[in-house]
Structure formats: C-alpha cells, structure tokens
Structure 1
Amino acid sequence: MKDERSSFPARLKTNAVAVEALLETLLGPAVGTGEIARPANLLGAMRHGVLNGGKRLRPFLVAESTALLGGDAEAALRTGAALECIHCYSLVHDDLPAMDDDDMRRGKPTVHVAFDEATAILAGDSLLTFAFDIVAAPETALSDRQKTTLVLALARAAGHGGMAGGQALDLAAEKSAPDEAGIVLLQSMKTGALIRFACEAGAIIADAPAEDRRRLRAFGDKIGLAFQLADDLLDLTADAAIVGKATGKDAARGKGTLVSLHGQPWAERRLESLVAEAEGLLEPYGPRSAILAETARFIANRRN
C-alpha cells in the first residue's frame, strides 16, 4: 500500500509547513550577529509579506530537485527559504501603486496597504538582502564553493537580467504591447527565472554533475513557462475570491499575453505540451522523478 506521506499533496504541504516554520524563526525579533537592531515596524512588514500562507512552490522545487539527486535536505530547506524571501520581496514591490497597484495578496491587504508605501519598499529591500544572508550563513551546511555558486545563480535569476528585468519589461508592455517573442522573453524573466533557479539549485546543493544541472535548469524553463501560461488563464477565467488577488487586470491594462494572442484552447494545448516536454527531461531519473513530474502537472492545472 502506498504511504500517503509520500504523495505529492502531502509532500507539498509538509514542505510548506517546514518553510513557514523556518521563516517564522529567521524573521523573529532576535538580533543576529553583526546586526545592530531589528526595527519592530519594519520586521512586522517583512513578516506580513512573507508569513501569509501560500503553497511555497519554489522552495518545494528546491527540496524535490535536491532530493532527486541525494543532496542535503536541511541546506535545501534554507535555500528554499531564501528563495521565498526573494519571491515575496518581488510581490511586495509589484503590488506598490507605482507598479501593479494591488490592494490584496493571498486574500490579505498588501504590505503598502497594511503599513505604508515607504515601509513596503524597505521591507522588500530587506527581504532581498536577507535572502543572501540565509544562503551565506554558517547554518547553511554547504561548502563555500557551493554557497558562492548558489549566490551567483540566485543573484542573476533575481536581478536586472532575470526577475527584476522582467518586471521592467512588464511595465513597458503597458505602453507598447510586445510581440509573441517579447511576451515569451518577458515571462521567462519575470516568472520563469526564479522557478528555473529553484530546480537548478538542487543540482548545486547535491554537488551533481553539470549535465544534471543543465537538465534541471531546462526542466525549470518548461514549468516556468507553464506556470505563467496557467496564470494568464486564471487571470482570464478565475474568480478573485478563489485566486486571492484581483483578476482581469492584464486585459484591463491592455497587456498582451499568449492567451490573448492565441486564445484559451491553444493555451490549454500548449500547457499539455509543456508538461510533456518537462516530463521528458526527467526520464533519465526514472521513478525517482515522479514527484517532480507531478509538480509539473500541478502547475499546469492549478486553480489559484
């Protein structure tokens, strides 16, 4: 009989609970070595932006890609927490009036609404910086070489050549709609870069051969595209109360998406194709990759 604890939903939930608990501890009031103080209001805003539930999909991908290759689970958990800090910083900043101007996130007021705009900016800045603190800290039991490799890969995924650059392209798209190639580029940066890192990180943590890192990075590319395509479908079809944030905003702003270019049936077929391509990349790992393959299907079929 199959152990229910090994099922995809159970593993996703277990990982989310572990990530939440670690972030709760890391974002506690205790002042760290080398720090001077942790201002209560700023820390409260950081916690509001991070400790708000969610599937913790990106840390889950770090954990599962690490497990696939036999890497250290605790190092994966800490790397996943660092990645989640960067993801949440991006949401805090994206929600600001100067960017996407959203009032709700995961069913709660966004940070700039719950606090104020200046505090939200500082909370995002602090979460971005703290992510690299978590990776570099002595508690992350990796070699200096592995930590340097992770920091470099994470910086390039998050910065002007990755996620932040994608957000810049997204803002520009409100004024001048990109063509299909431009949309794919934008999405591969804004959404795909952190998902790609999450998968690649497992190979770094496991100190795996270059071929594994290349293969998991390619897997991350496929599921990153699938994630954004599913997101665009949700923006078109889902209820805001279910998604936990405003929907229909892309259409209202005149933003081009692959769904608006090709239609819903095409998008659904493309999602099936991306999942098949992702599963094909995992074939050399056999049954060990079952959870990652199910994650790809979950990403394509999610409803929030």
Structure 2
Amino acid sequence: MSEQQTLSRFLEDQKEEVERRLPGYVAHLDSPEVLVSAMRYSLEAGGKRLRPILLLATLEGYGVSLEKGYDTACAIEMVHTYSLIHDDLPAMDNDDMRRGKPTNHIIYGEAMAILAGDALLTQSFEIISKSAYLNDSEKAKLILHLAQAAGPKGMVGGQVADMEAEKKSGLEVSDLEYIHHHKTGDLLAFAIEAGAIIASADEEECLLLRRFAKNLGLAFQIKDDILDVEGDAEEMGKPAGSDETNGKTTYPKLLGMEGAKEKLDMHIQNAKEYLLQIKKDHKLLHELTRYVAERTR
C-alpha cells in the first residue's frame, strides 16, 4: 500500500471512529433535551475532523495506542464545533449554511445555539478530566494547553482581532498572520501538541512539533482563502466567494492569488523541514501536510 493510500485509509478510518464516538459524550447528559439535540446537531454535521486526526496521527508516529487519545481528540473537536456554532451567528459571520446544512441558529434559534456552543466548550474539559487513559499530570497539561489555545490568548483572541480588522483599512500580512495563527492555528497546533504530551515526547520534540503545527495551521488557512475563490461550492458545502461578500481580508486579497500560493508553499515547506528534524518518522504527519496543501474542500 502506498503512503497516499495509507493516509487515505487512516483518514477514513479515524474520521469514522471519531464520528462514532462523539455523540456518546453528550447522549446521556442530565440536561434539557433541546440542548442535547442542538449539541448533537452540530457534532454530527460532518467535516474533515482534521484536529482529532492530527492528534491521532501524532500518536501513531510515536507508536502509542490510539485508544489513549480518543477522549482528547473528541474534546478538541467539541471545542472546534462550538467555535463554528458561534462564528455562524448573526452577530458574527451571519452564515445560514455550514457543511451543506442549515447552521445551528437557523434550526434552534440564536439563544439555544449560543448555549449549545457554551455546553460543548465546557464539556470538552470534563471529558479530558474524566479520561481513564490519562494520568493526572497528562490531564493537567492537556487542560492547561487547551484553555490557552481556545481562550483569550488563542482562538477567541484571534476571532476578536478578525472582527476588529474588518473595521480597518491597510491591513498588513503580519496582521493577517496574527489573526489566523490564533483564530485557526492555535487549536490545530494544540491537537499535535496534545499527541506529543500523551506520547510523553521530550521537550525538544514538543517544540519542533509546535513549530511544525504553527506553519501547518497558517498553510491550512491560506488554502481556505484560496478555496474560497477557486473552490467548488458544492464540494465545500458553502458558497464560494463568501469571504469577499463578508468583506474579509484574505491572503489572495492582500497578495494576489499567485502571492497567496507562494505563501502557502513557503509554510508547507517550513512545516516539512521541522518534521524532518524529529527523530521519529512521522509518515502520517508528512502525508497530512501534503493533504493540507492539495485539498479541494
């Protein structure tokens, strides 16, 4: 089996496994039925499940049982799902469709969508804290780093910077990188760092993986910006050109399409170089880097 076939099988198998497990974390909550329904609606809406897969691929590279990582992988996907629910709200991006389906607030109303997002975020920390596959030290590190990646220094701060940028003119590439590094990149980076923590990787390798993840996160967002212009709306599950419609500053808008693609290539190459410095042969992470560069949705 070729490396590309190996990655395709891993992506398919682990996406399926994560999606099988996700509903179980909320199915039996002692909570109002409508809240659980709203949480499950967005959890089951599909998607690439890239963040959990990055964690699991990191564990695979270290030869650690994937079972040890599923709780954390699903917790990360819950945080990501909460962020999408809130991003789609009228007060934020005001999107009616997500992954080819009506967004959460269209189905459940704005108030319930906000609460469903809040519930998913807080539930994620409970899942890690209760995991039978992690020791107390691992739980403490994972909860700390997840809070940092998702909170005011990470994803939430990046979202605020993104909103503030819409009011400004003359945005620089460095400003856009700050936004995307925090809004998208921090949670992606945490997924890989979480795999390293669970695998008991040494500090040098954790640092290299963080640098790899930072470049991969920026590459992911640049590719998103490119696909918003060149991608197929049906394949992506959202209208093409939505960034332009919403007045967002993107890499193609600042650098032109050719410049954006050059920037994408630079971050992909940087990511590969950091991976090559790690003693373990992370074949799946190498292939995932190629996947991020070449994906069509």
Normalised by the length of structure 2, the TM-score is 0.95
Cα shift readout 1:234-283 (whole Å, capped 9, x = no counterpart)? 11122322211233222223322221111111222222222221111111
For residues 148 and 184 of structure 2, the distance between their equivalents in structure 1, rounded to whole angstroms, comes to: 13
**Aligned partner (choices 136, 160, 163) of residue 171 of structure 1:** 163
What does 1:211-250 correspond to in 2, within 5 Å? 211-250=204-243
Query: What percentage of aligned pairs have identical amino acids?
Result: 42
Give, in angstroms, the shift of residue 164 of structure 1.
0.8
Which whole-Å deviations, capped at 9, do the CAs of 1:101-124 have from their partners, x for residues lacking one?
000001000000011111100000
Amino acid across the alignment from 2:32: P
Paired residues in the alignment total 296
Match of 1:283 among 270, 276, 287: 276
Q: Take 1:229 and 1:138, find their aligned partners in 2: how far apart are those partners?
A: 35
1:162 equivalenced with 2:161 (yes/no): no
Measure, in 2, the Cα distance between the counterparts of 1:192 and 1:120.
Answer: 24
2:249 maps to 256
4+ runs deviating over 3 angstroms: 3-6, 284-287
The alpha carbon displacement at 1:218 in A equals 0.7
Residues 102, 246 of structure 1: 8 Å contact kept: no
Distance 2:11 2:285 in 1: 11
Corresponding residue number in structure 2 for 1:17: 16
* Alpha-carbon distance in 1 for matches of 2:185, 2:105: 25
CA distance in 2: counterparts of 1:3 and 1:21, whole angstroms: 27
| 1:34 alignment counterpart | none
Q: Is the 8 A contact 1:65 1:216 kept in 2?
A: no
Q: What is the deviation of 1:188? A: 0.4
Letter in 2 for 1:156: Q
Aligned to 2:183: 190
Give the aligned residue type for 2:8.
P
State the match for 1:207 in structure 2: 200
Distance 1:276 1:87 in 2: 26
TM-score normalised by length of structure 1: 0.93
Structure 2 regions of 5+ residues with no counterpart? none
1:180 to 166, 170, 173: 173
**Cα 1:287–1:193 shift into 2, 3 Å:** closer
Secondary structure at 2:75 match in 1: helix
Matches of residues 13-52 of structure 1 in structure 2 within 5 Å? Answer: 13-28=12-27, 30-31=28-29, 37-52=30-45
2:156 aligned partner, one-letter code: A
Alignment of 1:120-131 (within 5 A): 120-131=113-124
Tell me, in whole angstroms, the C-alpha distance in 2 between the residues paired with 1:223 and 1:119.
Answer: 34
How far 1:285 sits from its partner (Å)? Answer: 4.2
Q: Please name the residue that 2:60 is paired with.
A: 67
Per-residue deviation, 1:297? 1.1
Q: CA deviation at 1:214?
A: 0.6
**Is 1:111 aligned to residue 104 of structure 2?**
yes
Which residue of 2 is the match for residue 148 of structure 1?
A: 140
The AA in structure 2 aligned to 1:291 is: L
CA contact (8 A) 1:72 1:205 kept: no
Contact 1:93 1:99 (8 Å CA) reproduced: yes
Using the alignment, how far apart are the partners of 1:87 and 1:292 within structure 2?
Answer: 20
* 2:80 alignment partner, one of 80, 83, 87: 87
Contact 2:61–2:283 (Cα < 8 Å) also in 1: no
Amino acid at match of 2:113: A
Q: Measure the CA separation in 2 of the matches of 1:167 and 1:303.
A: 24
CA RMSD of aligned residues (A): 1.7
SS at match of 1:7: helix
Change (3 A) 1:255 1:55: closer
Q: Deviations over 1:52-107 (max 9, x none)?
A: 22221100000011222233411211111000000000000000000000000010
Question: 2: distance between equivalents of 1:8 and 1:287?
Answer: 17
Once the 2 structures are TM-superposed, how far is the Cα of residue 227 of structure 1 from its aligned partner? 0.3
CA contact (8 A) 1:192 1:220 kept: yes
